[in-house]
Structure 1
Amino acid sequence: MVTPPTADALPAAIVDRDQWVCWRTQERDGKPTKVPIRPGTTQFASTTDPDTWTDFATARDGALATPVDGLGFVFTADDPLVGIDLDDCRDPDAAAPTAWAADLIDTLDSYTEVSPSGTGFHVLVTGSLPGGRNRAGDLELYDRARFFTVTGDHVAATPATIESRTEAVATVVDQELAAETDDTATTSGDDMWGTAETTTTTASAPADAGADTVPLSDDELLDRAKHAANGEKFTRLWNGTTSGYESHSEADMALCRQLAFWTGGDSARVDRLFRRSGLYREKWDTVHYADGSTYGEKTVERAVAATDDAYTPPEATDSAAADATQATA
């Protein structure tokens, strides 16, 4: 066993809670599985029984005195904590995350540590976890009835504290989990949660009406957007300012939704205009999804699908009125 971390190496938000267990690896169905152990004993702990948990100091002493592999923290419905588990996304030799994991860690921007195996990461945030599917592939998110192994091997580029990230968590769920369920029936749940449900989700088709939806040049359209009632907000986003948003991804979606309005839901034009903005970055063209979609493609698709209203140029309305008058003359 690696020496367990001290309290000083961990965020106070978890150290101060009496939700600590130890853990050890046990073979289950032919696979190694981490199981919770009651500190100071060799008995199993339960992620739903507080009587089997203890304070941090007692758990640490137990980890040093009994044959276990490390410390663990239990998530409950009564605390505001959410744990995000990223597996098989770190090369221990290079000590660096894959591009996929780096993007998620950047989006969440909260305390992150390396998992015991050295091949994954655990991110801790406070906030709310959306209902529905909580896992897909190498990504899992939990807020109750589960425990995380805790190593204290902090990723230096991330905050040393656990940050409030409800919107960022929703973004991760939307971008990484919802995409996995599009057009499929999926069974979700976990034996430690004791629940399972079947959900059918159908992807919304983006309204790509073509380049003539709003018959204005790109420059004219942008000028109108910048001088509209909410033009100041549009201009900040257009110039690449992300203040007021929990993450760069949140800002990307906000700008794309505004562009979806101004272009009448023309996804190709939204993409073309976004690439001219200060928010555009290399991540836009990175493949993020199992179907081969890039981050940018999926962001535009969701922005267009979520935007119900569309801009109608006054001259288009005038033209339609004139045509109607001629038709009845």
Structure 2
Amino acid sequence: MTAAIDADNLRKSYGDVQALDGLSFTVDAGEFFGLLGPNGAGKTTFINTLVGLARLDGGRAEVFGFDVTEEYREVRDRIGLAPQEYNVDRFFPIREVLEHKAGYHGFSSEQASERAMNALETVGIAEKADTRFDWLSGGMKRRFMLARALVSDPDLLILDEPTAGVDVQLRRDLWSVIERMNAGGTTILLTTHYIEEAERLCDRVAIVDRGRKVEVASPDDLTARGTDTIDVGLADPPATAPEFAHDGIVDARMEDGRLVVTARGSGTVIPDLFRELDRLGYEVTDLDIRRASLEEVFVDMTRQEEAVTQ
């Protein structure tokens, strides 16, 4: 099956700034794929190269087998983009804006009108069809940007920080909309600073920094590489932590009369930890486990990348 996105050794610079520095990865058709990275990592530049707003200095990118430079029209017809910034004609009713957008993609006037209303209904603002963009609330503006991306019935939906600045309820409403789109077969590329969003939605994520790929994996696979915290209550706690000879244990210390163990793969560490504590004569009274989060793994990986490049 042809990949939805195939990026190979992408390079793009703006003066002395190397925005993309050999970036490579693929996104499968039908996948919900996240692009994570700190500000300035190259995420928006990557998106701009796909939609024709930036021209690559080197490398090759394809969308469903079409080259983004040589076959721009075929690529653009397959992409729906909801950018982070508002770039909307503010003086027309939003239904007309969507009708014009559908017209650019070859739909007849009748089809464009139908598609516009369908898109507004999908995001829950059909009752605002005759309202100008400027008169919408902040949350409705975010919904409209998603509707505009959907109106052309894209094969690839690109969402650049789609829930930035919205309240928790609206964020979850938008999650439901885009999850339904993905379940219907639409490939989705998401950039976000909300790590919870990536954990909830994405099949895989690419962590990028300084225009380079740091890692590509599922959220579960990435969090499995982090460290869990095992907080153990002991009936007669010692002043200093016992020494444990276990490959999975990174650190053990006493904090406020409790044994705090940092470990990788806590599921395999805990039985051995209990056996060792029993052998040493300690009685366990309670146990609390805090699993590694994708956010912690993300921060750790980007810090390591920064250290390598300095």
Give TM-score scaled by structure 1 length. 0.21
Q: Which protein is richer in strand relative to its size?
A: 2
Q: Which has the higher contact order (CA 8 A, sep 6+)?
A: 2
